[in-house]
Chains A and B, each alone.
Chain A
């Protein structure tokens, strides 16, 4: 067993190796941008699915966005994916990189500790001291690697880096070249065709930095929104729940009704308005689809291991406070108001809502 297949989570190019191979075989004659492994249409099929080639859909909710993202990667501009946490920005970036250049592994993880070296290059100091600056002593960053090999580099959470570090990307994106002055006055790494950057960013979270206008101009922005269709979100949540539970051999019952309750609750709180048109106070906490899957997963595990295996509103009620009570103490009051007015009303009409209500009422929400 290789190192990759043992990992908790394998990168997209391994998970979907068979699909990528099928697409590549089918796509051999199609024109493609220089340096791309697949044609833009095949990349689209990889993201959005194709029944004929048995390609599964991996990105949901906004097909035109996938088109725009693919086309942006063909241009001189980088691609900036922005939006609330949990809207599958990183997944989209990983899938795009895997499909376009065959690897999603060239990643810079943005954080407060990211330095310019992570974007440009560093040194193997033992070799540097022994031999002086040389190609052998140079430790290229994922960005430099991607430039040299004509591939896509992913920059995760770019707004977590200080702006001066982010700005190291400006000249790389506009010149498509990186000077290596230590190796000689003319030493320059030129980007091979196919090089581009996909950055993901959260512009509204706490503890993020601004992006300079100069850097913004070098990107095309795409906003990834939470899924707005409740039926569709429910199916997606159920699908991802099954993906998590099946490998562990966990079986639960009644998950459809509970998923419906959960998705409706999340949609109501996320938009600040119920399906019936009642306005609510929106919690500050992120109520993403990914969080919904986490809640349902935790609820399912509780039902399976600590209960009789029937997933109910009670389990969701116990887990939901962990999602809502993260950011602001006010959120507890907002959830309380939602439970007291909206959930209570629905409890009179449906069993699962009744369970949810009776369990949620006893939560300590501040």
Chain B
């Protein structure tokens, strides 16, 4: 396949094919620009980013930085926010071109479709954060690259690229270099079908680039350099058809933000750029020496890095061997200096004195992390970060969080004793709740579940990344401070509960509200209050409401440690939830049989809640509960529910033990068809207050009387259900109960735990019966 033309003399256009983030392309571009001395530079990049060129070229800008574009897309009836990035690193040819243009005082323009154009996101609309640099997959997959790798003895497309191009970073003949890049990319393009290019928007983008090149050509005298991804270069020679697509006003917004090496890494899944960008950064820095000292710098640098970790650092002879190994591998593979894979191979051979299992070993994983780098760039103040971003950054700095790099760190917060740590904890909670991905709590007291309260410290895993800033930029449209952002997110999340199928769940709403309180939302949460109350008032589930109110009581109890300033809001929601519980309580009278057990469980939780409220002096009007209970007690209740209500009434002092005695006896002696029903009442009592078994002697007496008076057959029928009813008791309680009964009937308590031998004949008969049973089960397919 012929190489595309680098220079079109008729139009005096230099169409320079590059690969994004390639240091060799950047270095050769510097030479080309010096030789050609263009009067303008046109760059493949979204047209609507032009206003940001000044900021990108600002001397205070330190790469890596990225233009982040936000736009709302209509999809499936709803709007969806799309976030995409256009990153620059020190060795991006695009950045070199922009900086050269600024230094020479010549115009630089972007010539791609606006970032809001559908063609810029077609192909993978459903992807999350994405790159606007275009898809670089063709450089690593496809028959052409695979065959070339086999021919050159390379393991993958990346090594092919390094061998063919990065190794030529110091080559003198830039024209030949770009001709070769052009040819290589043209071959890759040859393997992609026109239909694919139509579908993924490539053809639409190229039409735009042609149209804008024509427009600028007409307006500017002298040679023009057009900088495009090598993939598009062949298409730019053709004459322009069609009009320029202009950016739509107000269709989207774009900002220049700090970006990180980790996000630049192609392996991290952002699709564009070279894998392990830290290596290319160092190659770029070593371009002056022709890459000669690169292996030495990298290997000694990595060894020094290992000394700072808890991994074994290599000795000097090992380091020397590795450097020598890298140089010789490069020479064997026909490269002027060791490239990425030579260095990784050399470390693999020399540093690891053991068998390497399939998968990855820690040392090589560490090497990859180190070769990726963790630098985060900086943007000038004029980049106009929204106030929210500035405020959060300022707050993070003042609380002692490192935001200058993308390293993941662990922060231990002494939340009980140090107010500043408490503030840091709230800050982390806030950033976690808004979904910034900055902080993740890995340990600490759990005030919500009343667990781990003896832990003095909270441990957070924190990592400042460009995604944090992007999320803040997204929120900056609606909020200027973190608390405003938090309130907005809370309202959004409450509204979103319906979509998750939890539209009327008090528990879900209060979960969110409690999270916001932990994040220090306080009185600003008023906006969300109505929504929370609505959820409470709509919730038909007693269990969910009781769990939610328990959460609130626990939250209120921890208000000091959580620095919840006023409790007025909290009290208001608590009161609303309590009212709702009391409204629903009498309705238990009409529940179906299948709902009975969950209702009893909820009532047991309710008792726990009432005790918790009493012990923590929560402002709940507990007197109202007695009224509600009395209303429930008036109805005709299922025996189990009646048992539960009676137990509540007895513990609350509303009835005398005699009333319980009377009801229990009548239930036990009743003529229900199913003996289980005779014990349902007792089951209800035990579920709510099993301590009544030994604090209220009438129960045992009643039970004893019934058992003593029962015939053998009656007793055998009753026995399994009696056991079931007493199941909730733990072994200690069972012992206690047994002793009480022994007392009552005058038996020797020491004779209670007796092993009763089964006669041989009974055992044999039982075993035979079991075998028979199993045979029947097997026959029915139930074994």
Contacts and interface: CB of A to CB of B under 8 A. Distances in A.
A40 B327 CA distance: 13
A222 interface: yes
A70 B354 contact: no
A72 B325 CA distance: 7
Interface in B355-386: 355-358
Contact of A74 (B328, B333, B356): B328
Contacts of A225: 358
A48 B321 contact: no
Interface string A223-262: 1010010000000000000000000000000000000000
Contacts of B155: 63-64
Nearest to B354: A221
Interface residues of A, number: 29
B320 to A, nearest CB: 9
Contacts of A67: 153, 329, 332-333, 345
A326 interface: no
Contacts of A77: 321, 350
A83 B354 CA distance: 10
A75 B355 CA distance: 20
A82 interface: yes
Nearest to A48: B153
A77 B317 CA distance: 10
A141 to B, nearest CB: 25
B356 A223 contact: yes
B741 to A, nearest CB: 51
A321 to B, nearest CB: 26
A76 B323 CA distance: 13
Interface string A61-96: 001100110111011110000110000000000000
Contact of A75 (B153, B328, B353): B328
Nearest to A77: B321
B332 A41 contact: yes
Q: Count chain B CB atoms within 10 A of each CB in A40, A63, A68, A225 and give the residue with the most.
A: A68
Contacts of B329: 67-68, 71
Q: Count chain A CB atoms within 10 A of each CB in B333, B350, B353 and give the residue with the most.
A: B353
A220 B349 contact: yes
Contacts of A213: 353
A10 interface: no
A223 B333 CA distance: 21
B352 interface: yes
Given A75-B328, A77-B321, A68 B353 contact: no
A204 interface: yes
A225 to B, nearest CB: 6
A40 B356 contact: no
A64 B341 contact: yes
B348 interface: yes
Interface string A32-64: 000000001100100010000000000000011
B313 interface: no
Contacts of B315: 217
A216 interface: yes
Contacts of B317: 217
B349 A72 contact: yes
Nearest to A223: B356
A219 B350 CA distance: 8
Interface in B297-334: 315, 317-318, 321, 324-325, 328-329, 331-333
Contacts of A221: 349, 352-356
Contacts of A220: 321, 325, 349-350
Contacts of B352: 221
Nearest to B151: A51
- Which range holds the interface residue count of chain B? 20 to 34
A203 B328 contact: no
Nearest to A84: B355
Contact of A68 (B324, B349, B354, B358): B349
A220 B325 CA distance: 10
Contacts of A41: 332
A77 B353 CA distance: 12
B355 A82 contact: yes
B257 to A, nearest CB: 38
Nearest to B159: A64
Q: Count chain B CB atoms within 10 A of each CB in A63, A220, A225 and give the residue with the most.
A: A220
Q: Count chain B CB atoms within 10 A of each CB in A74, A83, A228 and give the residue with the most.
A: A74
Contact of A217 (B325, B331, B353): B353
A75 B325 contact: yes
Nearest to B324: A75
B498 to A, nearest CB: 36
B127 to A, nearest CB: 24
A204 B354 CA distance: 11
A216 B353 contact: yes
A71 B353 contact: no
Contacts of B355: 82-83, 203-204, 221, 223
B349 to A, nearest CB: 4
A12 B499 CA distance: 70
A222 B349 contact: yes
Contacts of A68: 325, 329, 345-346, 348-349
A272 to B, nearest CB: 11
Interface string B129-164: 000000000000000000000000101000000000
A70 B349 CA distance: 11
Given A63-B153, A68-B345, A203 B325 contact: no
A216 B318 CA distance: 11
Interface in B33-81: none
A204 B744 CA distance: 69
B347 to A, nearest CB: 11
Contacts of B350: 77, 220
Contacts of B153: 44, 48, 63, 67
Interface string A178-214: 0000000000000000000000000110000000010
Nearest to A79: B349
B273 to A, nearest CB: 23
Nearest to A83: B355
A63 B332 CA distance: 12
A71 B321 contact: no
A31 B677 CA distance: 98
Given A82-B355, A217-B315, A222-B349, 20 more contacts: A40-B331, A63-B155, A67-B153, A68-B325, A68-B346, A68-B348, A71-B329, A71-B332, A76-B321, A82-B354, A203-B354, A204-B355, A213-B353, A219-B353, A220-B321, A220-B325, A221-B352, A221-B353, A221-B356, A225-B358
Interface of A: 40-41, 44, 48, 63-64, 67-68, 70-72, 74-77, 82-83, 203-204, 213, 216-217, 219-223, 225, 228
Interface of B: 153, 155, 315, 317-318, 321, 324-325, 328-329, 331-333, 341, 345-346, 348-350, 352-358
Q: Which 8 A-B pairs have the closest CB atoms?
A: A216-B353, A223-B356, A71-B328, A220-B349, A82-B355, A68-B349, A203-B355, A40-B332
24 contacts: A41-B332, A63-B153, A68-B325, A68-B345, A68-B349, A71-B328, A71-B332, A71-B349, A72-B325, A72-B349, A74-B328, A75-B321, A75-B324, A75-B325, A75-B328, A76-B321, A77-B321, A203-B355, A216-B354, A217-B315, A220-B325, A220-B350, A221-B352, A223-B356
